[in-house]
Amino acid sequence: MDPRLLRTFSAVITHGSFSYAARESGDTQSAVSQQTASPEEEMGIELVCRRPVGPTQAGARWSTWPRSSCGSTPHPRRSRK
């Protein structure tokens, strides 16, 4: 997965705002929204609640994966049982 998408997702969760994540990344709010939707579409699950902005239960689990070093934590999609 594109590291930029992971950084964008992490910024949205950290700031609790698409606008703040956009300011941090230098992208538009629309671009941040699209970048956040991309992994959701790829995995077929909602990762971010839009109102109020925050992680879904799946998003909370997935949000720890981008921060793990060198992917040593299994990707949540692959670790489902």
Strands, E assignment, the chain: 48-50, 53-55
- The pTM of this model reads 0.75
Count of H-run helices and E-run strands, the chain: 5, 2
Determine the pLDDT at residue 62: 85
Residues 35 and 33: their CA atoms lie apart, in Å, by 5
Those residues of the chain that have pLDDT short of 70 are 65-81
For 25, phi then psi, to 5°, come to -90, -15
Determine the pLDDT at residue 63: 79
Determine the pLDDT at residue 65: 66
Q: Which CATH number fits domain 3-67: 3.40.30.10, 3.40.50.300, 1.10.10.10, 3.30.870.10?
A: 1.10.10.10
Ordered by start, the domain boundaries in the chain are: 3-67
Question: What are the structure tokens assigned to 24, written together?
Answer: 């941090």
Q: Are 2 and 41 in contact (CB under 8 A)?
A: no
